[in-house]
């Protein structure tokens, strides 16, 4: 009897992901009680906007290919065998920054020591303003506050996500507007930003020696070299640079390609020409951090350039990016996708 009941439960759970004949292809499903919004394309989970109290910012987690293969790291939320366990603040796909009028929103996590807490900021989800499913796309608009340790709101955030997908393609477009509340806010130049994701182990670049990273408190952290079996990632920028050479350079887009569970995967981040600091610098690390940072110019140019971006009280700035997840691809294909994205003024 128990076996039959288990089979029924599994079948019911599977059926829940099969859309009705008249259901939208791209479903955006809020679940306030679970503190998440699920995105399902053609009956398959794609990603979720999650805002658990254990995280210091809302994120999209996990991200999958159209076949269901994970492209983001599981740790620390859902650890997988063989993953690195560094940088606990690098979860899923996110947008934040490391120096907002002296507050660090980038490096904050549950692992941050208590004596560092006063220097940290938290992005607090406030509400789902709109969630729309559709035949070709799904849209999600959310509101959040960037809050200091003392509870003061520094920035108000409104973000619109647009989700698209086909049988062999997935994409996320993010448009985030940040508004200074009651006083001038300064985004000081730092490499710790801005629009980033932490990829699965297979999409890291192979490494043959121990490395030293910065932990959530800004302290050096030694991470031993891991087994490179199945580690196949390589960066390529719109400017033709490859591998580690991409870090600290400007580009319109960067792709990361590799093989995950026998599936050829290409993950692409596209910058938008309306963004501050375009074309962005890339904080793209071989250990799996894939990030666009238009504001961290001092670190990337050894002090030759610097961008400290001020937002006056009541004023706003907007950042817009797109992520593509597809199979084997070419620079020419990605350039076409970039031009189409760059030509649009709204989703």
Say what the pLDDT of residue 222 is. 76
Of 74-83, 135-144, 164-173, give the lowest mean pLDDT range: 74-83
Asked whether residue 41 carries a pLDDT value surpassing 70, the answer given is: yes
The pTM of this model reads 0.90
Cβ-based neighbours of 269, under 8 Å, separated by 6 or more: 195, 197, 253, 254, 290, 292, 321, 322, 323
Whether 66 is in a domain gets the answer yes
- Look at 3 and 306; give whichever has higher pLDDT: 306
Residue with tokens 């520094």: 154
**Model pLDDT for residues 206-248, shown as the tens digit of each residue:** 987 777 665 555 566 777 777 888 999 999 999 999 999 999 9
Whether 37 is in a domain gets the answer yes
Whether 10 is in a domain gets the answer no
Exposure string of 143-172, with b = 16+ CB inside 10 Å and e = fewer, is: ebbbbbeeeeebbbbbbbbbbbbeeebbbb
**Model pLDDT for residues 275-326, shown as the tens digit of each residue:** 999 999 999 999 999 999 999 999 899 999 999 999 999 999 999 999 999 9
Say what the pLDDT of residue 223 is. 74
Query: Averaged over 127-147, what is the pLDDT?
Result: 98
Whether 13 is in a domain gets the answer no
Say what the pLDDT of residue 9 is. 35
Asked whether residue 3 carries a pLDDT value surpassing 60, the answer given is: no
Q: Domain range holding 104? A: 23-343
Query: Averaged over 200-205, what is the pLDDT?
Result: 97
Say what the pLDDT of residue 23 is. 78
| Number of domains within the chain | 1
Whether 143 is in a domain gets the answer yes
Query: Averaged over 263-271, what is the pLDDT?
Result: 98
Whether 163 is in a domain gets the answer yes
Say what the pLDDT of residue 218 is. 55
Per the DSSP assignment, residues forming a β-bridge with 325 are 170, 267
CATH number for the domain spanning 280: value is 2.70.98
What is the pLDDT confidence band of residue 1, given thresholds at 50, 70 and 90? very low
Whether 40 is in a domain gets the answer yes
Average pLDDT, the chain: 91
Asked whether residue 264 carries a pLDDT value surpassing 50, the answer given is: yes
Say if strands 193-198 and 93-97 run parallel, antiparallel, or are unpaired: antiparallel
Whether 4 is in a domain gets the answer no
């Amino acid at each position: 009897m128990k076996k039959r009941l288990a089979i029924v439960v599994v079948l019911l759970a599977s059926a829940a992901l099969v859309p009705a004949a008249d259901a939208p292809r791209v479903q955006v499903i809020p679940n306030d009680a679970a503190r998440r919004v699920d995105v399902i394309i053609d009956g398959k989970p794609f990603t979720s906007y999650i805002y658990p109290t254990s995280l210091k910012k809302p994120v999209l987690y996990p991200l999958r290919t159209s076949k269901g293969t994970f492209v983001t790291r599981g740790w620390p939320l859902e650890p997988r065998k063989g993953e690195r366990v560094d940088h606990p603040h690098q979860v899923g796909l996110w947008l934040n920054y490391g120096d907002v009028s002296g507050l660090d929103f980038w490096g904050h996590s549950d692992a941050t020591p208590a004596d560092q807490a006063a220097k940290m900021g938290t992005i607090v989800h406030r509400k789902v303003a709109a969630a729309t499913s559709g035949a070709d796309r799904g849209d999600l608009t959310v509101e959040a506050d960037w809050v200091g340790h003392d509870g003061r709101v520094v920035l108000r955030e409104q973000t619109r996500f647009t989700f698209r997908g086909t049988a062999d393609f997935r994409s996320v477009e993010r448009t985030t507007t940040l508004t200074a509340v009651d006083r001038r806010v300064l985004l000081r130049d730092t490499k710790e930003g801005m629009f980033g994701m932490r990829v699965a182990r297979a999409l890291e670049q192979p490494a043959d020696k121990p490395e030293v990273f910065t932990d959530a408190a800004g302290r050096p952290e030694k991470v031993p070299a891991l087994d490179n079996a199945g580690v196949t990632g390589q960066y390529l920028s719109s400017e033709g640079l490859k591998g580690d050479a991409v870090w600290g350079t400007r580009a319109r887009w960067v792709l990361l390609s590799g093989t995950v569970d026998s599936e050829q995967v290409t993950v692409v981040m596209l910058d938008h020409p309306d963004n501050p600091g375009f074309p962005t610098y890339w904080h793209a690390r071989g250990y799996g951090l894939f990030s666009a940072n238009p504001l961290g110019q001092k670190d990337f140019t050894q002090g030759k350039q610097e961008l400290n971006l001020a937002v006056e009280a009541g004023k706003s700035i907007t950042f817009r990016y797109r992520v593509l997840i597809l199979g084997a691809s070419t620079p020419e294909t990605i350039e076409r996708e970039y031009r189409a994205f760059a030509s649009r003024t709204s989703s």
